[in-house]
Structure 1
Amino acid sequence: MSTPAATPAAPFPALPVCGVAIPATGLITAAVAYARAHTSPSTVNHCLRSAAFALVFARKLPPYAGADAEAVVLACLLHDLGWAVGESRALLSADKRFEVDGANLARAFAREHSEYSEAQLQEVWDAIALHTTPSIALHKQPVVALTALGILADFTGPYHPAGAISVAEFQEVVGAFPRLAFRDELPRTLCGLCRDKPGTTFDNFVGEFGAALLEGEEGDAYREQREKNSARNLLLGGLDAVKQYE
């Protein structure tokens, strides 16, 4: 792999308690700038925390010791491009899940700013597209698994199912990259997806936010649509519909 040259000064806080450092390569520095240009400050900090936690898992869990740290950090930094804000929303599709939008944008970015092979680009794409599906991601390549592990750790900290994140490490990472308004912004973002492109939310966790938090007629209409398009109804309804041809 051809690694971009490091920048003269690392733009990231030191993390001595965690024993890791976010690589300050040209690609990573550019990725942070790209994320800042298109997503909110709290989303950027969430992505930076996720990257730091992913590196902690890579250091502590033997199966991931040889993972490409730059690729892991790149995937974490760009994993929420599907939450683009303001004029940057023009980058997003009208019919794809936010994870797929993010994966597509990240792959295009990496293709332009690095010499990654197509196989490496595909790993970054997989890592982002699958980051909300750990039951699949954890059985793929280390880059994909570590991305999912690191992102989940930002929500669970020391209570992560895989362990490995200590209270001191968690506090250091959150201190370096503060939460800002992430707790309040998250439900607004996900409910916005339920409003703007509901068809991308019916079969995944985003729909849980819409079903629980959208109110009034809007909420009733969303819940009715979600139920109609549930996997149960689609599968059993399909079997009932084709039975006449059997």
Structure 2
Amino acid sequence: MSSPFPSLPVSQITIPSNPLINAAYAYVKENCSECTLNHCLRSVAFGLILQKKFPPLANAPDRDTEAVVLSTLLHDMGWATTKALLSKDKRFEVDGANIAREFVTREDGKWDKHRIQLMWDAVALHTTPSIAQHKEPEVFATQLGIMTDFLGPNLPLPGSPITIDEYKEIVRAFPRLGFKEELRGIMCGLCRDKPETTFDNFVGDFGKIYGLDGKGGGKEEFTKMCEEKNLVRMLEASLTALEQYEN
């Protein structure tokens, strides 16, 4: 079976190739932008380097590398350009987790409930490091590989496991193609199209900084909406309302 992935001799890793991984690669390629696809591939590569060099992952027993690769490859299906795949009321991470679960269930009926749940958690929690790092190694590896695409050699881990040469090799293999600008557009689009999914997480910060079009349009209105939906204010108002029943 020929692999769709290039060799990475500097990093000394090989992105695994099998029918399910290759099908997942083709699925992301078909339904996401090339920029998003390359982000997912870079994240896979960084995750594999970290699995080899970062002790908490390297020393994890019975690591499920296939689950890590598939979770990372499919993690941003919530950004799909095929809008029919997406919900109108769920966070993009949940959309991605649901799509990944449906894909693997459809393509490979041999995955048991535990592996499927592991992948769902890895995708759903990939933007929540304060939770992901305390779950299974596969969930942590997925989250850390994705974070590395944003921090590269500046990843704040002991021993600086991602070298500059490794970083350069991965980015040459899977170019960024304007990723920073596309990311801003996607996040602002979520604030515009699914605002209720953005108030309690970092996505809303994009809307408050860049507006709903990435250029400042709708910024004030969205910021006001976020303030009205502020979780602390809502919790305290709810507790105050309950005081009438406690006297």
Q: TM-score, normalised by structure 2?
A: 0.93
Match of 2:190 in 1: 193
Match of 1:203 in 2: 200
Equivalent AA in structure 2 for residue 25 of structure 1: N
1:75 corresponds to 2:77:
no
Deviation at 1:233, TM superposition (A): 1.1
Cα distance change, pair 237–146 in 1 and its aligned pair in 2 (3 A): same
Cα distance change, pair 67–232 in 1 and its aligned pair in 2 (3 A): same
Equivalent AA in structure 1 for residue 116 of structure 2: L
Deviation at 1:49, TM superposition (A): 0.2
Consecutive unaligned residues in structure 2, runs of 5 or more = none
Deviation at 1:101, TM superposition (A): 0.2
Deviation at 1:217, TM superposition (A): 6.7
**Which deviates the most, 37-46 or 157-166?**
157-166
Q: Residues 1-47 of structure 1: CA distance to partner in whole angstroms, max 9, x if unpaired?
A: xxxxxxx1111111111111110111110001100111110000000
| 8 A Cα contact 1:48 1:77, kept in partner | yes
Secondary structure at the residue paired with 2:175?
coil
Secondary structure at the residue paired with 1:184?
helix
Q: Counterparts of 1:197 and 1:204 in 2: how far apart (Å)?
A: 13
Q: Counterparts of 2:36 and 2:115 in 1: how far apart (Å)?
A: 25
| 8 A Cα contact 1:36 1:44, kept in partner | yes
- Equivalenced residue count is 237
Deviation at 1:63, TM superposition (A): 2.6
Q: Where does structure 1 differ by over 3 angstroms across 4 or more consecutive aligned residues?
A: none
1:51 aligns with one of 29, 32, 44: 44
2:33 aligns with one of 35, 40, 50: 40
2:19 aligns with one of 15, 26, 33: 26
Cα distance change, pair 9–196 in 1 and its aligned pair in 2 (3 A): same
Deviation at 1:62, TM superposition (A): 2.7
Q: Residues 145-177 of structure 1: CA distance to partner in whole angstroms, max 9, x if unpaired?
A: 000000000010001122311101101100110
Q: Counterparts of 1:241 and 1:38 in 2: how far apart (Å)?
A: 47
Match of 2:137 in 1: 142
1:109 corresponds to 2:90:
no
Q: What root-mean-square deviation, in Å, do the aligned CA atoms of Structure 1 and Structure 2 show?
A: 1.2
Match of 1:220 in 2: 220
| 8 A Cα contact 2:210 2:217, kept in partner | no
| 8 A Cα contact 2:35 2:176, kept in partner | yes
Q: Counterparts of 1:217 and 1:182 in 2: how far apart (Å)?
A: 21
Secondary structure at the residue paired with 1:14?
coil
Consecutive unaligned residues in structure 1, runs of 5 or more = 1-7
Deviation at 1:216, TM superposition (A): 6.2
2:180 aligns with one of 183, 188, 203: 183
Match of 1:90 in 2: 84
Equivalent AA in structure 2 for residue 239 of structure 1: L
Cα distance change, pair 175–216 in 1 and its aligned pair in 2 (3 A): closer
Match of 2:244 in 1: 244
| 8 A Cα contact 1:102 1:128, kept in partner | yes
Cα distance change, pair 216–167 in 1 and its aligned pair in 2 (3 A): closer
Q: Counterparts of 2:10 and 2:66 in 1: how far apart (Å)?
A: 20
Q: Counterparts of 1:241 and 1:106 in 2: how far apart (Å)?
A: 41
Cα distance change, pair 216–35 in 1 and its aligned pair in 2 (3 A): closer
Q: TM-score, normalised by structure 1?
A: 0.93
1:127 aligns with one of 122, 133, 143: 122
Q: Counterparts of 1:42 and 1:216 in 2: how far apart (Å)?
A: 23
Q: Counterparts of 1:217 and 1:193 in 2: how far apart (Å)?
A: 14
Equivalent AA in structure 2 for residue 138 of structure 1: Q
Secondary structure at the residue paired with 1:165?
coil
Q: Counterparts of 2:70 and 2:124 in 1: how far apart (Å)?
A: 13
Secondary structure at the residue paired with 2:218?
helix
Equivalent AA in structure 2 for residue 197 of structure 1: K
